[in-house]
Amino acid sequence: MGFFNPALLWFALGGAVPIIIHLLHRQKFKRMRWAAMEFLLRALQKTRKRMQLENLLLLLLRVLIMVLLALAIARPFFREAPVEALGDSDTHHFFVIDQSYSMAYKRAQHTSLDVAKRAALKVLQDIRPSEQDRFSILPLSSYPEPILVNSNRKERLQTAINELRPSDFGTSVYATMQSLRNLLESPEIRNRDRRIYLFTDLQRSGWILRDDQEAKKFSELLKALSKKENTRFYLYDAGTSDAFNHAIVDLRANDRVITTKRTTRFTASIHNFSSIPRPAVNVGFYVNDTLVKTEPTVLPPNATTQVNFEYDFAEAAPHLVKVAIDPDYLDVDDSRYLSVDVKSALKALVIDGEPKDNPKDSETFAFVLALDPGRQGVFFSVDVKTVELFNAEGLDGYDFLVLANVQSLTSDRIDKVESFVRRGGGLFLTLGSKVDKVSFNEFLWKKGAGLSPAQLDEITGDAPGGGIERGTERRISRFALGHPMFRTFQKRTMAALYDLVFYKYYKVKEFDPDRVLASLDDNFNSPLFLEKPFDEGKVILLTSTIDHEWNAGIQAHPPFLPLMWDLCRYLSARPTARRNLFVGDLVNLDLPVEAYQPPFILETPTEGSVTLPASTPEKDQKFFRLFYPSRTKSDDPKAFKNEGVRNAGKYRLTRNAAREEEKLVAYFAVNVGPREATPEEIQAAEGNLERITKEEIQTRYPDFKVEFRGEKKDGAQEIDVSPPPASGLWKYLMYFLVGFLLLESGLACLFGRGKQ
């Protein structure tokens, strides 16, 4: 038994007051014998025992009334044992402890995880296990990998709990319950009594599901877990009610391709999750760990603020950009990284399918002139080859490939082109009179499985100089506004795109209408530009030519140059997802064999330098494949489980090279969420410390039978792990108190009348 107000138990000493009064008022007399008194004494002897019993009963009632009054105001309650099954219990105890990065929230030198660990150790201390009892520890996070399973030693559990540290993962009650269910259904645990103790900060985002379907599955999962009679859940609240946080939720370069000869703008998005504005927060911009600029910024409450920085890169190499803000009580999301690959110029390999003795008459003359007018390789470095000289080797040295009016390619060369595009390369296909339609459809379209976005049909229109009339020229009638290929042609400059004139083109079929980037103004809205994603790369098909044979004077039209620039810059933009990762993602990189040789060293923020094993290239493969964390081949599917990178920060990949400037291979930027800076993703981020109430948990998940056992009081650093007391016991004591008062009054009146 315990008391809410144990100090008031001193009032129980008031039970001695009636006894003291009785002792003080005892009659003192001298013994004198005389006749009349002897008569009264004989009469008193007959009623003395009855009067003593009456007085004793009243005295006991009055003492009991005082004691009951003291107990009632002290508010007693009965404590349950934290674990019902003691002794020979055969119980499995699961300690599910929140290890998400919100548990690193630190006030007064104590994190929320510190509070949860102390509470878990107290609960563990109260357990008196039998030889059959077992213990397990499971983290409550988005990657709930068991820490300790099926141990019969409390000492191991204590050590494991003490060694817990906040991870950089987010919270997912759904994922944790799935992992817990798998453990509960194992043969060695299935028939035992199960006690699950949840220690968490009750962060709302961890309990809210992504969609109705996932919410339904989660509800069914909780129902299945709770309906088992041998399973009980206890929840301990280790969170802080007034927690606040601000976080960098996004960092991106505004240019898809970064070169040394252009100023690059970066935009950082900072969200203030609290209802209090944050004035003069310093936002620092770093390049390769060097502070470039600090920008004081005001963060409005519950809003996202964007801060822009500009930088001119002097060296063509991998670089790491970082933005950091003044630290708060949760510092893991106060910085964000971005890996960028800076180029001196974009490298293009152009295959001319119709070369001529006079270069101006060649298929690609106008195109190359648009990209590199002075042939200096300032922004685009263009290599032009004929089909005969193109063996599809060394494609990884280029950013994109152009096949211009190429009649056909052998299957082995097409396989190499496909491999290049799959790994992130860009491909621009243009048509013309040399193209073999049958070969194109067989090797490039492949019934929709090849590189081409569409199947070629028939040529339509008339070439210039063939007696054409004014009505045969075609213009762009519609295009994908907002697509990077049409970056120049927005708002006021949109009309300029309609000045481009096309006379002859292929009709196509079997294409995805959503992948049509631009259409012509004929009766069928024939596609002019089509796009197809191909694994990590992309392909754009022009259904006409880029020379004057089909389209007279195309290079003389002002929109042609910026259109080709934007198109080629878009094709050059390699996907950055492999180098800009999130906690839980796998580092996965392919490196050309001709350019790199092992060993490869990865410098990590927590594990120091790690040597990455480079897989031996398989048949027809021309690249090494690197993984971190390292993976090995196995027939067991579980061996391929993507555990991913566990810590946010900077990862630097180097190789064995003679010169220092050649050692750097790549930077990897690993961040915590959100992955996208949308309002929905931001609100669901781990940095949003808004809490879910116990009442809301019970309302949202009525089938989840959980007992709320402890919570942290405001300002306290400990959780009261006591079971919820029977706090209504004082009411019954008051009922007894009133009853005894009435009984005492009634008996006093009754006994008094008898004496009269």
pLDDT at position 640 is 36
CA distances, 637 to each of 138, 175, 313, 632, 634 (Å): 22, 19, 44, 11, 7
Q: Are residues 529 and 450 in the same domain?
A: yes
Q: Which of 468-482, 523-537, 603-617 has the lowest mean pLDDT?
A: 468-482
Residue 33 confidence (pLDDT) above 60: yes
State pLDDT tens for residues 552-595.
777 778 889 999 999 999 999 988 888 999 999 999 888 877 77
Domain span at 624: 584-634+641-671
**75 Cβ partners below 8 Å, 6+ apart?**
3, 4, 5, 727, 729, 730
Domain harbouring 169, CATH code: 3.40.50.410
pLDDT at position 88 is 45
Chain-centre distance for alpha carbon 256: 24
Domain harbouring 451, CATH code: 3.40.50.880
CB distance 500 to 557 below 8 Å: yes
Question: pLDDT higher for 416 or 68?
Answer: 416
CB distance 107 to 51 below 8 Å: no
Domain harbouring 615, CATH code: 2.60.40.10
Q: Are residues 430 and 536 in the same domain?
A: yes
If DSSP codes are grouped into helix, strand and coil, which group holds residue 94?
A: strand
State mean pLDDT over 318-343. 96
Which tokens sit at 557? 């039209």
pLDDT band at 701 (very low <50, low <70, confident <90, very high): confident
Q: What are the backbone angles phi and psi of residue 649, rounded to the nearest 5°? A: 140, -160
State mean pLDDT over 692-702. 90
Question: pLDDT higher for 499 or 538?
Answer: 538
pLDDT at position 471 is 43
Question: pLDDT higher for 579 or 81?
Answer: 579
State mean pLDDT over 335-342. 96
Residue 641 confidence (pLDDT) above 60: no
pLDDT band at 344 (very low <50, low <70, confident <90, very high): very high
CB distance 157 to 151 below 8 Å: yes
Residue 63 confidence (pLDDT) above 90: no
pLDDT at position 638 is 39
pLDDT at position 5 is 65
Q: Are residues 237 and 259 in the same domain?
A: no
Residue 636 confidence (pLDDT) above 60: no
pLDDT at position 468 is 45
Residue 617 confidence (pLDDT) above 70: no
pLDDT at position 336 is 98
Assigned domain for 564 exists: no
Q: Which of 8-22, 399-413, 490-504, 713-727 has the lowest mean pLDDT?
A: 713-727
CB distance 325 to 246 below 8 Å: yes
CB distance 451 to 532 below 8 Å: yes
State mean pLDDT over 727-732. 68
Q: Which of 148-162, 480-494, 609-623 has the lowest mean pLDDT?
A: 609-623
Q: Which of 197-201, 220-224, 435-439, 640-644 has the lowest mean pLDDT?
A: 640-644
Which tokens sit at 412? 């082995």
Assigned domain for 684 exists: no
Task: Report d(CA 41, CA 29) in Å as an integer.
Answer: 14
Q: Are residues 266 and 196 in the same domain?
A: no
Q: Are residues 360 and 452 in the same domain?
A: yes
CB distance 666 to 579 below 8 Å: yes
Assigned domain for 579 exists: no
Q: What are the backbone angles phi and psi of residue 4, rounded to the nearest 5°? A: -70, -35
Q: Are residues 326 and 358 in the same domain?
A: no
State pLDDT tens for residues 239-291.
988 888 999 999 999 988 999 988 999 999 999 999 999 988 999 999 999 99
pLDDT band at 696 (very low <50, low <70, confident <90, very high): very high
pLDDT at position 409 is 93
Task: Report d(CA 541, CA 40) in Å as an integer.
Answer: 131
pLDDT at position 639 is 38
Assigned domain for 570 exists: no
Q: Are residues 405 and 492 in the same domain?
A: yes
> Of 377-391, 440-454, 616-630, 642-656, where does the model show the most confidence?
440-454
Chain-centre distance for alpha carbon 702: 26
Question: pLDDT higher for 22 or 651?
Answer: 651
Chain-centre distance for alpha carbon 745: 70
Last-in-domain residue among 294, 310, 343: 343
pLDDT band at 637 (very low <50, low <70, confident <90, very high): very low
pLDDT band at 44 (very low <50, low <70, confident <90, very high): low
Q: What is the overall mean pLDDT for the chain?
A: 85
Assigned domain for 330 exists: yes
Assigned domain for 145 exists: yes
pLDDT at position 374 is 75
Q: Which of 114-118, 583-587, 595-599 has the lowest mean pLDDT?
A: 595-599
Residue found under tokens 């808004």: 690
Task: Report d(CA 667, CA 338) in Å as an integer.
Answer: 9
Residue 727 confidence (pLDDT) above 50: yes
pLDDT at position 62 is 81
pLDDT band at 633 (very low <50, low <70, confident <90, very high): very low
Task: Report d(CA 400, CA 168) in Å as an integer.
Answer: 37
Omega before 605 within 30 of 0, i.e. cis: no
Residue 393 confidence (pLDDT) above 70: yes
pLDDT at position 410 is 93
pLDDT at position 1 is 61
Question: pLDDT higher for 718 or 161?
Answer: 161
Which tokens sit at 509? 């079929």
Q: Which of 237-246, 593-602, 687-696 has the lowest mean pLDDT?
A: 593-602
Question: pLDDT higher for 181 or 591?
Answer: 181
Which tokens sit at 533? 């994603």
Assigned domain for 401 exists: yes
Last-in-domain residue among 325, 343, 361: 343
State mean pLDDT over 458-468. 69
Task: Report d(CA 622, CA 590) in Å as an integer.
Answer: 9
Q: Are residues 457 and 372 in the same domain?
A: yes
> Of 295-299, 368-372, 457-461, 547-551, where does the model show the most confidence?
295-299
Q: Are residues 272 and 330 in the same domain?
A: yes
> Of 570-574, 627-631, 733-737, where does the model show the most confidence?
570-574
> Of 420-429, 495-504, 621-630, 716-725, where does the model show the most confidence?
420-429
Q: Are residues 510 and 375 in the same domain?
A: yes
Q: In what order do the strands lie in the sheet with 318-325?
A: 258-259, 335-343, 318-325, 278-287, 290-299
Q: Which of 295-304, 361-370, 736-745 has the lowest mean pLDDT?
A: 736-745
Classify residue 292 by its DSSP letter.
E
**693 Cβ partners below 8 Å, 6+ apart?**
202
CA distances, 493 to each of 488, 499, 518, 555 (Å): 7, 11, 16, 18
- Crossing angle of helices 112-126 and 154-162, in 10° steps, is 170
Q: Are residues 493 and 441 in the same domain?
A: yes
Q: What are the backbone angles phi and psi of residue 518, rounded to the nearest 5°? A: -155, 145
Q: Are residues 487 and 431 in the same domain?
A: yes
Assigned domain for 704 exists: yes
Instruction: Indicate the number of domains in the chain.
Output: 5
Last-in-domain residue among 287, 309, 343: 343
* CA diameter of the chain: 163
> Of all residues in the chain, what percent are helix, strand and coil, respectively (each to 5)?
30, 30, 40
